[in-house]
A and B are shown apart, each in its own frame.
Chain A
């Protein structure tokens, strides 16, 4: 085939695409209520995995502030006084990979009073029941695992005679990591399930669309339209459904995020984390939209192809 032939063919292909694109948009707009309902179902279905994904992603962001989670809290025996406590703090400070801070019973009580809101109940104690506490922050050297440092410090501190109890936040960290792993898996499973649901919903919508327009399809076949030409407007319809569904999902999700992000940030601030909620970002937005469109395309393809196979094999076209 000559170059000009190729050019002519690709141009007429482009024109057919444009024709299908607009005729599919026209169809969607002419059935506003039906379109809206389909898009809403899709939007809600797609918003769920997006929401969970962002939740897990934010928990991962917490995970990054490992320094805090790896702290060791050393509760000293009640008979250990200020001098001994300060001496121990200095000893720990000289230890490589550790930084220590001593908290007096009074300071501890004050912190507890502010954080817990049990102020009046605490007044009932005649004397302060809290011991001296030393908070040890591990500082791993370059290339050293946080976990090894924490375990080394824990073993060493536990042997000291002043020590009553060593509490490591590390266990918590491990549990959090486990939970995050579970969350990741859950996101994957939910994404697959809801994508499948989106394909089914769109496929069903397009199936009804096809049934409603079976007369048009037959006429198009009679005047020489190939399967490709007949398929195109429906594929575009599917694409639009998916895209609009994804758009609505993002909208719904961001609306929810808007309402929960402020209380959430306040809550996390109370735990001593300066925290900003992580959102999808531009790339993520575009990716969700693209995936929505693609799912719609697949759903539409399944329905139209089924119908085309049916009319081509049964010869129903011949009964004009």
Chain B
């Protein structure tokens, strides 16, 4: 589903965010991406979302070679990738319902269908009762779940999350990861960038480790502590 082949990303000014990174994610896999801040986790996710393009090497998502695509095709790719942001990226002047419905509005669905699917997505994250609320009246954990509902409402085959538990307490974080696992069990490929090692260990899934832009470890799920627990 996601393949990186010797990917290097250099920024103007010479700083190198990713060096010669190669890995492959099968469809339906759930993988954690970890490393210190500045290790290149966000850059890697940005490349998958086609917010920028690799300097060298190939990035393949769902059969599309993003390195060979013109940037104007990026919206088409982004519609197939659900992204969850650390700071939620919700629109404050729109209700929860309207925020979650954005990807479907963009796709031009019928209002009846939008309603049905938004409510299903909100139900899945346990926020159906909050559909008419404004984002700022919700707690951090609830806002994050609205962000997740927006990411999954279009039923994308790939889900990315950038430090989704960054501002949450341990219990909420565990709940959130449980939600990701549920989505993964329904066949969605999930890639989560996080530096919460204890939590990652408890999940027992494959882990990619980045350090200074290089992929220094690729640990199979079976070797993670949580798998034996």
Is B79 interfacial (CB 8 A cutoff)? yes
1/0 per residue, CB under 8 A from B, across A74-108: the answer is 00000000000000000000000000000000000
Chain A residue contacts of B79, Cβ below 8 A: 223-224
With A216-B91, A317-B51: A224-B106 Cβ-Cβ less than 8 Å: yes
Is A185 interfacial (CB 8 A cutoff)? no
Chain B residue contacts of A226, Cβ below 8 A: 72, 75-76, 106
Chain B: interface size category: 20 to 34
Is B148 interfacial (CB 8 A cutoff)? no
Q: How far is the CA of A219 from the CA of B78 in the complex (A)?
A: 12
Residue in A215, A218, A315 with the greatest tally of chain B CB atoms within 10 Å: A315
Is B83's CB under 8 angstroms from A225's CB? no
Partner pick for A16 among B52, B71, B105, CB 8 A cutoff: B105
Segment of B31-39, B107-115, B174-182, B203-211 in the binding face: B107-115
1/0 per residue, CB under 8 A from B, across A11-32: the answer is 1110110010000000000000
Q: How far is the CA of A240 from the CA of B77 in the complex (A)?
A: 33
**How many Cβ-Cβ contacts under 8 Å join chain A to chain B?**
68
Is B89 interfacial (CB 8 A cutoff)? yes
Number of A residues, CB within 8 Å of B: 24
Is B103 interfacial (CB 8 A cutoff)? yes
With A15-B108, A15-B109, A16-B108: A222-B75 Cβ-Cβ less than 8 Å: no
Is B6 interfacial (CB 8 A cutoff)? no
Closest to B80 in A: A224
Is A13's CB under 8 angstroms from B75's CB? no
Is A222's CB under 8 angstroms from B78's CB? yes
Q: How far is the CA of A16 from the CA of B76 in the complex (A)?
A: 16
1/0 per residue, CB under 8 A from A, across B41-77: the answer is 0000010010110000000000000000001100111
Q: Report A289 CB to chain B, min CB distance, Å.
A: 29
Residues of A within 8 A of B (CB): 11-13, 15-16, 19, 215-216, 218-227, 229, 312, 315, 317-318, 320
Q: List 24 A-B contacts (CB under 8 A).
A: A12-B109, A15-B108, A15-B110, A16-B105, A16-B106, A19-B105, A218-B89, A219-B89, A220-B102, A222-B49, A222-B78, A222-B89, A223-B78, A223-B102, A223-B103, A224-B78, A225-B75, A225-B102, A226-B72, A226-B76, A229-B75, A317-B51, A318-B51, A320-B46
